[in-house]
């Protein structure tokens, strides 16, 4: 059976099995007579990839809908019950949270009902909640797993489903594959069990415990003499950070915090911010209007599930948003200037984050532990420290995609506590008569300039998947001597070479001028990401990379 025949067969099955679902029937009817769209929705299943699933909302197994969510949860339930039957230490308790996206609350409820139907206690947040709160609550509520309904920073047409282990970070190692195998054995309709008998709402006490912990870990880095001078614009980008970041900034003593009214409400369509990603300058358009009107100093933004945080400001008349690497450098500088690192402490950074931080770490007596791409590997590293009795060796962690962690009480990136540290370091520089860009220049002067640029190249749909495979094959097999005018001194293939890291489809090129280029397909989006760390921003490397990508379009 070819792909189209299989898609048609699946389509007819969904038509038959969802007769009582008026909304789904309407969605399916719109695909009639559109073979290309039918293929996109039904040719295969969404993969349980980077610790979960993420996709466009719509009908069929290649889209996100309540049937895909229910099947994923049934597979996870089967996996949990299998572990329990094997005598493993399983509490059969799972906590569920969701962000402000379309259908998120419905999908969270669907998840809870399937868990309940399989004899697993489902602890459900009654309100939209951020990732760091979920991560914290897994341990606080003595759960085996946590589930977050979110598509992070993606546009409004997306949603997703992330699975966290009992330690509070997304599942790693063999576990994602084992959960995926359990899911793959299931029919979308006939194998699903549901019940409402074993669902409990999470107490507000957990939110209070989390907020108190944020204050506890950030307060050592706050200078009460500086914070009154800083004027902050904060936007949750219509997401889950709203209640928590305002609370954290207020607890820390920041009184001049101004909202962005159009983005200070939950909006599943992200009407004023089509791409609610704090890595992108366009995400700050509404906030810049407020900054101009209020003559404020800085903008802080969290993405819809509030694990990422970004910063923007006006410097010398130009609107600038800092990269995740730049924020990481500034945060490490700020932390170490207030709380000197102890012997043996270290930081975690992902292998695609700026190596300039290594120079700063060495100067401050810190070790650096690079980890594979994905903050879950930071969480895994923290858990290994705890098992060794060395939790106090943790100092800081970050990844280039605007993920930061200042304390291991949370095991995923925490945009809320990080927002407080960002406010503090901006206040400190204002007291010195400068802004964060000025201070970043000082850091470059001290440790050397290494300009980071990240480019994303999107390839949609089934054809896009094939194109991305071709591109990675090209970089893996054909790019050996040079990129543009620069020669390759060393090439590292994390899929094939013995790197000391888990295998991943990542290729790194160290060039003869000291620059580095890293290429990898995203684990959650239909794009190839290219990370460049350039000693000479005029070298033309970014143009050479763009030319290669364009040749495949």
Provide Rg for the chain, Cα atoms.
23
- On whether the CB atoms of residues 273 and 311 are closer than 8 A, the answer is no
Across the strands, what pairs with 235?
301
The count of C-alpha atoms lying within 13 angstroms of the C-alpha of 95, restricted to the half-sphere facing its C-beta, is 30
Cα–Cα distance, 332 to 469 (Å, whole number): 37
- On whether the CB atoms of residues 411 and 168 are closer than 8 A, the answer is yes
Residues contacting residue 446 through CB under 8 Å, at least 6 positions apart: 363
- 44 is an active site residue: no
Q: State whether residue 396 is helix, strand or coil.
A: strand
Kindly provide the residue ranges of all beta strands, DSSP E only, lying in 3-129, ordered along the sequence.
52-56, 93-98, 121-124
Cα–Cα distance, 252 to 117 (Å, whole number): 43
- On whether the CB atoms of residues 329 and 398 are closer than 8 A, the answer is no
Largest distance between two CA atoms of the chain: 71
Q: What's the token pair of residue 300?
A: 């802080």
* Dihedral pair phi/psi, residue 46, rounded to 5°: -65, 135
25-59 burial: b if 16+ Cβ within 10 Å, else e: eebbeebeeeeebbbbbbbbbbbbebbbbbbbbbb
Of the residues 152, 306, 350, 401, only one is catalytic, namely 152
Cα–Cα distance, 171 to 192 (Å, whole number): 23
Q: Give the single-character DSSP code of 202.
A: P
Residues contacting residue 320 through CB under 8 Å, at least 6 positions apart: 281, 312, 313, 314, 437
- On whether the CB atoms of residues 151 and 54 are closer than 8 A, the answer is yes
* Dihedral pair phi/psi, residue 440, rounded to 5°: -60, -40
124-137 burial: b if 16+ Cβ within 10 Å, else e: bbeebbbbbbbbbb
Residues contacting residue 113 through CB under 8 Å, at least 6 positions apart: 122, 194, 195, 196, 199
Cα–Cα distance, 345 to 521 (Å, whole number): 32
Cα–Cα distance, 167 to 15 (Å, whole number): 41
Catalogue the active-site residues: 152
């Amino acid at each position: 059976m070819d792909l189209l025949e299989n898609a048609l067969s699946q389509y007819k099955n969904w038509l038959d099995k969802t007769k009582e679902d008026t909304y789904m029937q309407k969605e399916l009817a719109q695909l009639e007579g559109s073979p290309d769209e039918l293929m996109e929705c039904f040719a295969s299943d969404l993969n349980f990839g980077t610790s979960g699933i993420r996709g466009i909302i719509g009908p069929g197994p290649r889209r996100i809908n309540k049937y895909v969510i229910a099947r994923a949860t049934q597979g996870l339930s089967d996996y949990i019950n299998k572990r329990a039957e094997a005598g493993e230490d399983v509490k059969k308790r799972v906590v569920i949270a969701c962000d402000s996206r379309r259908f998120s609350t419905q999908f969270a409820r669907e998840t809870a009902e399937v868990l309940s139907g399989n004899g697993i206690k489902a602890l459900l947040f009654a309100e939209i909640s951020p990732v760091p709160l979920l991560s914290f609550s897994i341990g606080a509520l003595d759960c085996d797993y946590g589930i977050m309904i979110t598509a992070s920073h993606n546009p409004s047409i997306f949603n997703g489903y992330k699975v966290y282990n009992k330690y509070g970070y997304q599942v790693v190692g063999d576990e994602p594959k084992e959960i995926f195998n359990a899911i793959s054995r299931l029919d979308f309709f006939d194998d699903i069990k549901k019940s409402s008998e074993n669902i409990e709402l999470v107490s507000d006490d957990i939110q209070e415990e989390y907020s108190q912990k944020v204050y506890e870990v950030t307060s050592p880095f706050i200078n009460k003499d500086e914070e009154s001078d800083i004027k902050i614009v904060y936007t949750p980008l219509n997401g889950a950070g709203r209640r928590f970041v305002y609370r954290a900034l207020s607890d820390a003593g920041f009184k001049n915090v101004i909202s962005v009214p159009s983005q200070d409400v939950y909006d599943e369509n992200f009407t004023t911010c089509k791409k609610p990603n704090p890595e992108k300058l366009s995400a700050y358009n509404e906030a810049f209007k407020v900054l101009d009107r209020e003559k404020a100093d800085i903008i802080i933004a969290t993405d819809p599930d509030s694990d990422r945080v970004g910063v923007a400001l006006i410097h010398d008349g130009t609107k600038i948003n800092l990269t995740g690497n730049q924020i990481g450098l500034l945060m490490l500088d700020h932390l170490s200037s207030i709380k000197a690192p102890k012997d043996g402490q270290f930081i975690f950074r992902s292998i695609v984050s700026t190596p300039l931080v290594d120079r700063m770490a060495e100067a401050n007596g810190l070790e650096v532990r690079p980890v594979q791409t994905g903050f879950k590997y930071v969480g895994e590293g923290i858990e290994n420290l705890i098992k060794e009795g060395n939790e106090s060796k943790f100092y800081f962690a970050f990844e280039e995609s605007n993920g930061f962690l200042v304390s291991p009480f949370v095991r995923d990136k925490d945009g809320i506590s990080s927002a407080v540290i960002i406010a503090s370091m901006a206040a400190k520089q204002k007291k010195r008569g400068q802004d964060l860009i000025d201070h970043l220049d000082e850091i470059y002067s001290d440790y050397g300039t290494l300009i980071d640029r990240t480019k994303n190249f999107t390839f949609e749909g089934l054809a896009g998947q094939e194109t991305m495979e071709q591109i990675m094959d090209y970089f893996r097999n054909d790019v050996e001597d040079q990129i543009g005018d620069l020669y390759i001194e060393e090439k590292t293939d994390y899929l094939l070479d013995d790197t000391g890291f888990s295998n991943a489809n990542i290729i790194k090129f160290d060039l003869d001028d000291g620059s580095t280029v890293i290429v990898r397909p995203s684990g959650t989006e239909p794009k190839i990401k290219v990370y460049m760390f350039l000693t000479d921003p005029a070298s033309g490397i970014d143009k050479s990379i763009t030319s290669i990508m364009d040749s495949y379009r």
